[in-house]
Amino acid sequence: MEDKVLLNRESKSDGTIPIQVLKKIKDITKEFQIVSLNRQIEVCESLSKESPIIDVAILGQFKAGKSSFINSIIGKKVLPVGAIPVTTVITRIQYGPQELATVTFFDKKKINVGLDEIEEYISESKNTANEKNVEVVDIELPNLMNYPGLRIVDTPGLGSIFKYNTELSEEWLPEVGAAIIAVSSDRPLSENDLNLIKELREFTPRVIILLTKVDLLSEEQQKEVVKFFKDSLKKEFNTDFQILLYSIVKDTELYKRWIDKLLTSLSINRDSEFKGILNHKLRSITRQCISYLDIALKTSVAADSEREQLKKVIFDEKVNYELIHSELSLIARESKLMTRELISTYLNEHHRSKLIQKLTKKLTEDMSQWKGNLWKITRQYENWLMENMTAEMDHISRTEYKQFFGTLKKAHSSIARSIELFRNLLDRNIEKVLGIKPNSVNWVVEVSEPEHPDVAFTKTFDFHFDLLWFLFPMFIFRKLFERHFIKQIPAVVDIHLSRLAYQWEVRINRTIDEIKNQALEFIKNELATIEALLNQVSGNTGKIMEKREELLALLQRTNP
């Protein structure tokens, strides 16, 4: 058959790629409207056309020691480390003839910076919530000359729902070449670790477990922990994982040699490793595509009346777009109604009294230095209020904003659970009716952190006494007006805290709607895909079987 392909991929330098394989899968997904696989196909096409740089991603939870590990193996303190989550954007490090750091922003603007300036763009403390809109930072170092063709990728610590702070999504995971998952040896494997491993196995054949901080354990304890991890992973995934130990405190050079052996092997065998990575991704897509075609094949052999009955059973009263739309809309609406109250309560409980006391004290001190008549002193007071209130509101907004995300996190969690339940119900119905267990694409609801509001001063005066300044000699009335200005402080604070709460409410509620709409888009596309497959007429049976056999042949030929 002319469309059947050989997957013997020639070297990258010859410019040849397994384009026929990708074209076959792409043509089938387009013909049968399998839109869920578009992203993975795009990644494979991109990988096939680019030079074979292998991304070695370092992933793990906050405080797993990822940045310290990378600094240790590259022999230079390039990445910030600390007791709190410090990395806010993805950083890629590879060999280059001279030290070079390039910052790429979301608007595609690029600037070169010194290594000592990197922290300004990648650390949480200097680039809070990625307010500088950095997309990625690329670093080239001469001391990585032993690993040409490899790119070490430092990722923000997992455990946050935000895209800027966790790149566990369909938008990024497909690009992973090899993955090292850092797990602190002083805690057990978490559910998040297991979920991460499960997702990574869809996209790369190389998943390595790195136990960090092993200096906290005795040699005997290290053996026990390694055995526990091996047994747990074997039980969960029915496969053996490579487990490496590391410490930046003790026996570092010994552990470094193990890492060096791994990276050197990846680098020396780059072409074959790259081929294995690409084929692994192709096999994953192919398996998912076959799963969808199985649905089409089952329904194509049924009569029209039977096909309609199958659709009714699969799309029962629980697997219904209008129903899930109403459910997600209700979750979003209830969460949004609580946003303002949550923010206002927090601000009033934690900041109102302190802020009033602070501003009252500062105003009393500063006001004693003001000179002039009532008009001039009033202008100084207004300027003082504008300067100090703007600074205080901005400080609260930038340091406390994460306390405002309660309803956002709740909405994200509830919506994610709802769509997971919906997908499970759909898969269960398909399995019950057709006897097929779907190999579905994971739905990952991404969350863009709300942008910070522009904090501005709001005038609060209803009547300007200063217009009658000539009636009030200041040597007589100054103390009276100073007391009046001070008495204004609580009202001014209340107005600005309320305004800040409103600004964040608008932004958070907009993000909640984005989460809901993204989830509904997942569901709409999946239902459209399944319905298109269920609508296959009996005359298509032969064609579906032919396409399925071709994919099985591709799967067989891509086996390692």
pLDDT for res 102: 95
Rounded Cα distance between 172 and 35, Å, is: 18
Give SS3 for 324: helix
pLDDT for res 17: 42
Give the other-Cβ count within 10 Å of 406's Cβ.
16
Give SS3 for 433: helix
Answer for the pair 511, 274: CB distance below 8 angstroms, yes or no. no
HSE, side-chain direction, 13 A CA sphere, residue 201: 14
CA 207 vs CA 37, 56, 149, 212, 295: distances in Å: 22, 10, 18, 16, 31
Rounded Cα distance between 254 and 144, Å, is: 18
HSE, side-chain direction, 13 A CA sphere, residue 554: 31
* Helix 474-534 / helix 406-434 crossing angle, nearest 10 deg: 10
Q: What are phi and psi of 237, to 5 degrees?
A: -120, -5
Per-residue pLDDT of the chain (560 residues; tens, 9 = 90+): 333 333 333 333 333 446 677 888 889 988 888 877 877 788 777 777 666 678 888 887 756 677 788 888 888 888 877 544 456 678 899 999 999 999 998 777 899 999 989 888 888 778 776 777 788 899 999 989 988 888 888 876 544 444 433 333 334 455 567 888 888 887 777 777 887 788 778 777 788 998 888 888 888 888 888 898 899 899 888 888 989 888 888 888 888 888 888 888 888 887 777 777 777 778 888 888 888 888 888 877 776 667 777 778 888 777 888 889 999 999 999 999 999 999 999 999 999 999 999 999 999 999 888 887 777 888 888 889 888 988 898 888 888 887 888 888 888 888 888 888 888 888 888 888 888 888 766 666 666 666 666 665 555 444 455 455 445 566 666 787 788 888 889 999 999 999 999 999 999 999 999 999 989 988 888 888 888 888 776 667 888 888 888 888 877 766 65
pLDDT for res 279: 78
Rounded Cα distance between 41 and 174, Å, is: 9
Answer for the pair 416, 512: CB distance below 8 angstroms, yes or no. no
Rounded Cα distance between 498 and 492, Å, is: 10
Q: Answer positive or negative: Cα dihedral of 415, 421, 423, 426.
A: negative
* Tokens (6 digits) for 34: 């399998």
Give the other-Cβ count within 10 Å of 88's Cβ.
25
Give SS3 for 266: helix
Domains and CATH numbers, the chain: 51-268 (3.40.50.300), 321-528 (no CATH)
DSSP string over 184-252: ETTSPPPHHHHHHHHHHTTT-SEEEEEEE-GGGS-HHHHHHHHHHHHHHHHHHHSS--EEEE--SSSSH
What residues are paired with 500 via a beta bridge?
Answer: none
Residue 114 burial (C-beta neighbours within 10 Å; 0-12, 13-18, 19+): exposed
